[in-house]
Amino acid sequence: MKKKLYHVIKEASKEWGDADFNIEHTRQKEFGDLATNIAMVLSKQAHQPPLEIGEVIARKLRKYSMFSKVEVVKPGFINLFLSDEVYINIFKEVLGKGEAFFKPDVQGKRIQIEFVSANPTGPLHVGHGRGAAIGDALSRILSFCGHTVEKEYYINDAGNQIQTLGESVFFRYREICGEKISFPEYGYKGDYIKDIAQNIYQRESKSLLEKEEKEAVKICAEYASNTIMEDIKNDLKEFRINFTNYFHEIFLYPDQIEKAINYLKEKDLVYCKDNALWFKSTSFGDDKDRVLKKSDGSYTYFASDTAYHQNKLSRNYDELIDIWGADHHGYVSRIMAAFNALSPEDCKLHIILVQLVNLLEKGERISMSTRGGQFETLRDVIKEVGVDACRFMFLTKSTNTHLDFDIQIAKEQSMDNPVYYVQYAHARICNIFEQVKRKKINIRENVGNYILKTEEEKNIVKELVILREAMDKSVQELEPFYVVKSLINIACAFHQFYNRRRVIGAEEEIMQSRFKLIDITKKAISTGLSLIGVSAPKQM
RNA sequence: GCGCCUGUAGCUUAACGGAUAGAGCAGCGGACUUCGGAUCCGCCGGUUAGGGGUUCGAAUCCCCUCAGGCGCACCA
């Protein structure tokens, strides 16, 4: 609809030449349905007052039957009031296309999105949960819009952290075996480490003590990372997230890392200094060059990450998306540098930073690093507030803003917690159809004469159009939050309608139209909710 | 010290450079004899952290100050 309008307005204003104008949904209904700033934009280049230009354009626009009123106001806005005919046509279009109406026109691409990727050294916490909710919603939205999406989890199972994990477990194991040890400062101190050590003890008894320490630590590390990874996978499943693929860092050792380094060498982007191997990331905009291979011969994580991205490139995606916690932002420029060095041409890499989550309870901050708090893990939070509320909560604010997650509020069923508001609208519609069934009211397949008389009904139609635009915007900006916001507005438009108008009991023609209207509204809500991984219950 | 993110009503927040800064919660007051009151309507509440600048027009862009968060390794 906007596209069509765009052309109409462009046509009406062509005597002044091209301009970068826009059309927006108005905030207040006195300003019509839509408004454009074209007169103000043109006034600069035409050296003419915007009101004059606006009046000329408005005169032309008034000839179109799609507008019931066109007015030019104060600073130079042209307010457009759409005729009922336009609403009816959109309404028919939505009904004809069904769910497909909400898909923006996009060219299908192959996209890989990597998210969560938490190290298998401890359970997922709330911050991971937000990344998970955003990554998963984004995948669903992208694939709904026609892209082919693969979701990948990268497991860091090769570096020092795993070594430390193994050592930590082995310390606990020795403790269980009766040795007196002093647990190292750098070790993982969580209780889950003790549980894992206990399991190993039950399986192996004291046999590990007879092995060489290096060997024993390795066994512990392997066992621990596997069990923790299993737990993580269970948490993700619980959170309704299925990855297409789990990629192990260890798989890159050492051949693919060498391959990546050699590739950079051939391009003369690598040099030796102080016995270490450096990548010239400054040539690609990074602040300083980065080490690939340390002087002790081992690789940095940066080296394996580089190799990992080369591996991704070899899989022929059109676009790559990495979702990281905002605490990794210092890492962005070096990976971008490596990526640009590796990828001569088309494939694009987007790095999305998810801002941190503050976990609160009744306004009090719960620390995530100490074990004082009750709900530091994602699992605990899900158990407490439920998957629906949890996922919705993570998505109500844009990715790039800090999120205060208050357990207390997430449990409440108020407008602070809009998931119920949206679900309730869905349940209400379902209930109307329940009543219809019970009262044996006939729903006609073909409604000859569509009627959208009231503001409330037109509002719903308008919000459905906005959902499609939100879908488009979410894809453009890789930001699922627009869809969520639109869902809340659709629910709002429906609740307003519901409170002022009736479906059952309205005059036959109107009732039949309204059946169609609420049916498509229900579809919009359930589709939208499914895209963010939230259920659409029939009753609550 | 350098870099990134953030600062909007008591709280949580919205606003492609556009109109009187828009919502929800909390507070106060109302609404269905009929489809679910987890809803709807009204009132109260703002110097958009502060100060400069850019322009027809700034919460938004630029500079400075203040406050908070996070990064600045041959760590992961």
Both tokens of A331, joined, read 């890492």
| pLDDT at residue A18 tops 50 | yes
Interface predicted TM-score of the whole assembly (ipTM), two decimals: 0.92
Q: Rounded distance, CA A513 to CA A137, Å?
A: 33
d(CA A186, CA A196): 18
3-state SS, residue A367: coil
Q: Is the CB of A403 under 7 A from strand B?
A: yes
What type of residue sits at position A92? K
Reported as type and span, the H/E element at residue A338 is helix A332-342
Instruction: Give CA–CA dist A171/A177, Å, rounded.
Output: 10
Taking residues A156-179, report their average pLDDT.
90
Phi, psi of A146 (to 5 degrees): 110, 5
How many angstroms separate the CA of A377 from the C1' of B71? Answer: 24
Tokens of A395: 């998505």
Residues A510-525: what's their mean pLDDT? 95
pLDDT of A65-98, one tens digit each? Answer: 999 999 998 788 899 999 988 999 999 999 999 9
A206 three-state secondary structure: coil
Phi and psi at residue A501, in whole multiples of 5°? -125, 165
Q: Is the CB atom of residue A253 positioned under 7 angstroms from any atom of strand B?
A: no
**To which residue do tokens 């990548």 refer?**
A279
Query: Taking every pair of C-alpha atoms in chain A, what is the biggest distance, in angstroms?
Result: 93
Identify any residues that bridge with A358 across adjacent strands, giving them in sequence order.
Answer: A404
The residues, ordered by sequence, that sit 6+ positions from A44 with a Cβ below 8 Å of its Cβ are none
Q: Are strands A357-361 and A364-365 parallel, antiparallel or unpaired?
A: antiparallel
Q: What's residue A450's pLDDT?
A: 85
A450 touches strand B (CB under 7 A): no
Residue numbers 169-208 of A with CB closer than 7 A to any atom of strand B: none
Peptide bond into A184 cis (omega under 30): no
| Contact indicator for A368, A361 with CB cutoff of 8 Å | no
The one-character DSSP state at A251 is G
> Is residue A464's pLDDT more than 90?
yes
Order across the sheet with A77-82: list the strands: A23-25, A34-36, A77-82, A67-73
pLDDT at A125 exceeding the cut of 50: yes
Least confident of A224-233, A274-283, A356-365: A356-365
Chain B bases closer than 7 angstroms to a protein Cβ: 3-7, 11-16, 18-20, 22, 24-26, 31, 34-41, 56, 68-76
Does the pLDDT of residue A3 top 80, yes or no?
A: no
Q: Which amino acid is at A14?
A: K
> CB of A21 under 7 A from strand B?
yes
Q: What architecture is domain A2-82?
A: 2-Layer Sandwich (3.30)
Which residues, at least 6 apart from A418, have a Cβ–Cβ distance to it below 8 Å?
A392, A396, A488, A491
Q: What is the pLDDT of residue A343?
A: 82
Which two three-digit tokens encode residue A416? 């602070």
CA A217 remoteness from chain centre: 39
- pLDDT for A414 beyond 80: no
Give the model's pLDDT for residue A446.
Answer: 82
pLDDT at residue A255 in the model: 93
What confidence score (pLDDT) does residue A236 get? 95
Comparing A270-279, A343-352, A434-443, A490-499, the range with the smallest average pLDDT is A343-352
Round to whole Å and give the CA distance between A395 and A412.
Answer: 17
pLDDT at position A247 over 60: yes
Structure confidence at residue A398 as a pLDDT band (50, 70, 90): confident
pLDDT digits over A313-325, tens only? 999 999 999 999 8
Q: Mean pLDDT, to the nearest integer, of A278-283?
A: 92
Task: Answer whether residue A231 shows pLDDT above 90.
Answer: yes
- At A164, the amino acid letter reads T
Read off the tokens for A177: 């075996």
Residue A463 · residue A489 · CB < 8 Å: yes
Phi-psi map region of A501: left, alpha, beta (phi>0 left; psi -120 to 50 alpha)? beta
Residue nearest to nucleotide B32 (CA to C1'): A499
Which nucleotide lies closest to A497 by the C1' atom and the CA atom? B40
Tokens for A7, please give them: 């052309």
Is residue A125 within 8 Å of A378, Cβ to Cβ?
A: yes
Which residues 266-295 on A are within 7 A of strand B at the CB atom? Answer: 273-276, 287, 291, 294-295
- Taking alpha carbons only, the member of A63, A55, A80 closest to residue A1 is A80
Rounded distance between C-alpha atoms, residue A490 and residue A520, angstroms: 11
CATH superfamily of A419-531: Isoleucyl-tRNA Synthetase; Domain 1 (1.10.730.10)
- Whether residue A363 contacts residue A108, with contact meaning beta carbons closer than 8 Å, is answered with no
Would you state the pLDDT for residue A290? Answer: 94
Q: What is the mean pLDDT of chain A?
A: 89
pLDDT at A371: 37
Among A75, A19, A93, which residue's Cα sits nearest to residue A461?
Answer: A93
Q: Residue A404: which pLDDT band, with cuts at 50, 70 and 90?
A: confident
Look at residue A367 in the predicted model and tell me its pLDDT: 53
pLDDT tens-digit map of A340-366 = 999 867 778 999 988 888 777 766 666
Return the bridge partners of A123, or none.
Answer: none
Q: How far is CA A288 from CA A280, A285, A334, in A?
A: 8, 9, 9
Domain map (residue ranges) of chain A: 2-82, 160-220, 357-411, 419-531
- Look at residue A363 in the predicted model and tell me its pLDDT: 62
pLDDT, greater one: A14 or A431? A431
pLDDT at A94: 93
Residue A368 has pLDDT above 50, yes or no: no
Judge contact between A85 and A450, C-beta under 8 A. Answer: no
**Residue A260: pLDDT above 70?**
yes
Tell me the one-letter amino acid at A499. N
Kindly state the DSSP code that residue A540 receives in the 8-state scheme. -
Instruction: Give the residue with greater pLDDT, A184 vs A493.
Output: A493
Q: Name the amino acid, one letter, at A139.
A: S
Rounded Cα–Cα distance for residues A429 and A519 (Å): 8
Cβ-based contacts (< 7 Å) between A 109-168 and strand B: 119, 156, 159-161
Cα–Cα distance between A529 and A540 in angstroms, integer? 15
Is the minimum distance from the CB of A508 to strand B below 7 Å? Answer: no
A64-68, A448-452, A470-474, A481-485: segment of lowest average pLDDT = A448-452
Q: Are A362 and A388 in contact (CB under 8 A)?
A: no
